[in-house]
Structure 1
Amino acid sequence: MRRVLVTSARQDGFVLPMLRLVRAMTARGDAVWFLGGETYRERVEAAGATFVRLPYDEAVPASRVSDPDRRSGVRELGRVLRTLFLDTVEADHRAVRALHDELRFDLVVTEPLFVGAVAMSLLPREERPAVLVVGFFPLPFRSVDTAPYGSGLPPAPGARGVLRNAALWAAAEATVLGGVRRAFHAELERLTGSRPTGSLFDLPLVADAYAHTTVPGFEYPRRALSRKVRFVGPLPPPPGFALPSWWDYGDARRIVHVTQGTYANGDLTELVVPTLRALADRDDLLVVATTGGPAPDVVEAAYGGPLPANARVERFMSYEHLLPSCAVMVTNGGFGSVHHALRWGVPLVVAGTTEDRAEVNARVAWTGAGLDLRAQRPAPERIREAVLQVLDDHGRHRRATARLARAIAATDAERSVLRLADELCCGAPAST
């Protein structure tokens, strides 16, 4: 039996996938503690873990989705990293160290943005447990082959691309990232006695291993990716949602599913409502919207009247039933939502530029899995045009998603993470 500490920031997109791993660990007999926000106590305990509350739980907002000033790009990403993670790194790190001093964990499993747990890797190995980072967004690490994370730029070929990337990284470091990186590194040196090296986005690589929850075909090729990075495939969607009474397998209409996920769903007029408007007159389509939490009547209120006859709205749907029947998914580009679509080979129309969405959506377009509208609030006309283009593309996007679906089907994320955890706990960290 291993003693494991799992940590995560207070966002469904991170916490809920981590809880799938918690269930897998507790099911095989590991003793698991989960450090997180009070909101998740019941779900943590239902997964079989011991809940430990974050020390600053009431002082930090649970999400930024209602922030009217959300913006995109490298500059905004730097601001978010500073305000949401640098400000809490000391409290997080001291909480993790105190728990380890008391309980002597064999392993810490965390996501990249819980920097206080990642920082445990900077301590001498004999003073700390093994540290495994599980990534739920596109690879952020600096590379000669990629533009700075947050720019949403796909690779450019040959020497021209290398020169472009070098110039962009230098500009980002000089204007935005350099100050944040120095502040992060100085704080981590103060807390651990060891100063990290590399770019701000390379920090998760100080851990013993990085489990990346996608397949190589969804990532840009890099000539020097650290061997610590292991592609484990995406975690499956949560089970257990009952089918609504209106569901009818005999309905011949093609289904278009629209969602803003579980994080950026505070304003459903960004994508859900425009999609309903875009396809309101298409009697040959059934538009199924999920809110990711808010009550369905919020959508009707935002729509400004009765919903179209071809629209159905639910908080959640069972993706094991919905997605195999889908012709297109329209989404703002949440990493989890996109991978759920890819698992069933569903082509995508994506629209979102904040948080990690510019990077996710650029990869959707780069792989050929769908169309990227490159907008936070696309007009209904643009959504309509894109959906109809994907529906009538003679299978081009569906062939691309089918390739990714086959790659995903060959993975078992839970088993791969557990195997990697065992490797680390046996004293064989992933090689650099």
Structure 2
Amino acid sequence: MAGTKRILFFAEAVTLAHVARPIALASALDPARYECAIACDPRYARFLSPGNWRNIEIHSISSQQFLQALATGRPHHDYEVLSGYMREDLAVIRDYQPDLVVGDFRLSLAVSARVAGVPYAAISNAYWSPYFAGLRLPVPVLPLTRWLPIPLAQTLFTAAKPLAMRRHCAGINRLRRENGLHPVGGDLQRAYTDADYNLYPDVPQLFPMHDLPSSHSFIGPVLWSPHDAVPSWWDELRPDPPLIYLTLGSSGQASLLQLALDALADLPVQIIASTAGGPMPARIPRNARVTDYLPGTEAASRSALMVCNAGSLSCQQALAAGVPILGIAINIDQFLNMAAIADAGAGLLLRADRISSNRIHLAARQILSNESFARGAKQLREALNRSGPAGARFEAMIPGLLHDWSTGARSRTLN
């Protein structure tokens, strides 16, 4: 299409959130000005059409492989994975000839986009920014946390962190050296955010920054829901009793969904639950309705409480509706995200390795009976509203990003 710019999105399909954000941003772009393509593993093909973009198949490691690596503390993207990704990235870039590459957790793009000589914008949550003023890595759910007291596990985790981070960065460092780029050492924040431009799908009220450079920008929460996820019983939901939206996301655990359903069964509430493509629970309480996917934004807006895996995509749907959150966290991302929300008074954080039906029950009752959590969520809703639609902010940024790149205003590599 004459006069349009080509935007190529790469979605790393290890969780649905990394696919949803490229879909939402691509959907927001004016097709008269921008021609888009989304490169994604076909496992999420149902969500990629219809759309005003070209779909390109690429490979991502399986969600199971990714989550198992997180659960055991192993690197999830080693050299073999990243070098294979890079070959695929370069083939797609050569074929599509984009003006701008946008990646969501496609870590290989820090090298492949530079080799291809195209500008690269990374979608990264603000808590991974090197400029985040409050980063303190919490010990995630690991084998050692299941049998050690958490304070002791945290001490051991903090002591082992430098060695562990170097191990996690070994693959990307080898790939960088082979292609003439300086390694990132053991800096996982830099490995996650090394790009020509960084787009933070968050609000600065939750994640304050220090000395943030102009190449790093908050675009606000990127809200997305499946277009085909309205169940047959949707219009049968009643306005009373209050509704709890239960979704543990694509990075939750199936056993936690059953535990949460059991925990909420005796509360005077209605429960709507999403398996996020996982197995259906063996027992469904009388006050619950369960399906594979739900329209998350709409489900949150009808609810008095969201119970989720503390991931950013689900939490932002709740906060956009001014709904408090009970977050059950497993990995570091979830702990970092939910800790900020809990500190703002908009919810409670539970550890998945210390979870029980009784703890979920009591925490849900506490949030529903204490109006301060709803007030905290509504205050964050105001912050989200002030940030405006992320897609519009991203589209407004593109001309400046391309101008900076074309005029050589920024270095082509980050030393």
Q: Deviations over 1:77-134 (max 9, x none)?
A: xx2xx343533222222332333344432110101x31221224545xxx61211111
Aligned partner of 1:326 among 303, 311, 324: 303
Instruction: Pick one of 88, 111, 116 that aligns with 1:119.
Output: 111
Please point out which of 270, 289, 306 is paired with 1:312.
289
Q: Which of 397, 401, 404 is the equivalent residue of 2:380?
A: 404
Deviation at 1:215, TM superposition (A): 0.7
Letter in 1 for 2:11: S
Identity, in percent, stands at 20
Q: Given residue 107 of structure 1, which amino acid in structure 2 is its aligned partner? A: L
The 5 A counterparts of 1:141-156 are 141-142=129-130, 145-149=133-137, 151=139
CA contact (8 A) 1:259 1:331 kept: yes
| One-letter amino acid of the structure 1 residue matched with residue 71 of structure 2 | R
2:164 aligned partner: 176
The alignment partner of 1:339 has SS state of helix
Q: How does 1:54-69 map onto structure 2 within 5 Å? A: 54=58, 60-64=61-65, 67=68
Task: Determine helix, strand or coil for the equivalent of 1:317.
Answer: coil
Q: Following superposition of structure 1 onto structure 2, how do residues 129-278 of structure 1 map, counting pairs within 5 Å? A: 129-135=118-124, 137-142=125-130, 145-149=133-137, 151=139, 171-172=159-160, 174-191=162-179, 193-197=180-184, 199-219=187-207, 221-238=208-225, 239-242=227-230, 244-245=232-233, 247-248=235-236, 250-261=238-249, 263-265=250-252, 267-270=253-256, 272-278=257-263
Distance 1:210 1:316 in 2: 30
Q: Hey, what's the Cα distance between the residues in 2 that align with 1:245 and 1:174? A: 51
Query: Distance between the aligned counterparts of 1:42 and 1:351, measured in 2?
Result: 27
Per-residue CA shift, 1:386-411, capped at 9, x if unaligned? 11111111x21111111110111222
Residues 426, 340 of structure 1: alpha-carbon distance in 2 compared, 3 angstrom cutoff: same
- Correspondent of 1:31 among 21, 35, 39: 35
1:387 aligns with 2:364: yes
Three-state SS of the structure 1 residue aligned to 2:39 is: strand
Calculate the aligned-residue CA RMSD, in Å.
Answer: 3.0
Distance in 2 (CA, whole Å) between partners of 1:170 and 1:373 is 20
- Specify the alignment match of 2:6 in structure 1: 3
Q: Which moved more, 1:27-36 or 1:339-348?
A: 27-36
Contact 1:328 1:348 in 2 (8 A): yes
Whether the aligned pair in 2 keeps the contact of 1:122 and 1:206 (CA below 8 Å) is: no
Structure 2's unaligned 5+ residue stretches are: 141-154
Matches within 5 A, 1:265-304: 265=252, 267-270=253-256, 272-282=257-267, 284-294=268-278, 298-299=280-281, 301=282, 303=283
Shift of residue 62, structure 1, vs aligned partner:
4.3
2: CA distance between counterparts of 1:170 and 1:372? 20
Task: Choose the corresponding residue for 1:19, options 20, 23, 28.
Answer: 23
| TM-score normalised to structure 1 length | 0.80
- What is the CA-CA distance between 1:34 and the residue it aligns to? 2.7
Q: Distance in 2 between matches of 1:340 and 1:418?
A: 21
- Per-residue CA deviations over 1:353-391 (Å, capped at 9, x if unaligned) read 225222222222222111111234611110111111111
Counterpart CA distance in 2 for 1:366 and 1:293 is 31
Contact 1:23 1:48 in 2 (8 A): yes
Which residue does 1:362 correspond to in 2?
Answer: 339
**2:65 corresponds to 1:51:** no
Distance 1:101 1:321 in 2: 39
**Aligned 8 A contact 1:110 1:132 in 2:** yes
* Equivalent residues of 1:255, 1:327 under 8 A apart: yes
Q: In structure 2, do the counterparts of structure 1 residues 151 and 108 end up closer, same or farther at CA, with 3 Å as the change threshold?
A: same
Distance (Å, rounded) in 2 between the aligned partners of 1:308 and 1:182: 47
Over 3 Å counting, the alpha-carbon distance change for 1:174 and 1:377 in structure 2 is: closer
Match of 2:88 in 1: 95
Alpha-carbon distance change, 196 to 287 in structure 1, aligned in 2, over 3 angstroms: same
- How far, CA to CA, are the matches of 1:62 and 1:122 in structure 2? 27
Residues 189 and 370 of structure 1: is their aligned pair in 2 closer, same or farther, counting only changes over 3 Å?
A: same
Amino acid at match of 1:87: E
- 8 Å contact kept, 1:212–1:229: yes
SS for the counterpart of 2:393 is helix
Shift of 1:337: 0.5
- Note if contact 2:404-2:410 (Cα within 8 Å) is conserved in structure 1: no
**Aligned residues of 1:138 and 1:356 also touching (Cα < 8 A):** no
Letter paired with 2:254:
L
Structure 2 letter corresponding to 1:84: H
TM-score by length of 2: 0.83
By how many angstroms is 1:327 displaced? Answer: 1.3
Verify: 1:71 aligned to 2:101, yes or no: no
Provide closer, same or farther for how the CA distance between residues 133 and 288 of structure 1 changes in structure 2, counting only shifts above 3 A.
same
Residues 40-75 of structure 1 show CA distances to partners (whole Å, capped at 9, x for unaligned) of 456445323333332x56xx43444774x7527xxx
Report if aligned partners of 2:244, 2:271 keep a CA contact under 8 Å in 1: yes
SS of residue paired to 1:421: helix
2:79 alignment partner in structure 1: 86
Residue 185 of structure 1 and its aligned partner are, at CA, apart by 1.9
Q: Aligned-pair distance for 1:342?
A: 0.5
Is contact 2:89-2:109 (8 Å) kept? yes
Structure 1 unaligned regions, length at least 5: 153-166
CA distance in 2, matches of 1:205, 1:294: 30
The answer to whether the 8 Å contact 1:350/1:372 transfers is yes
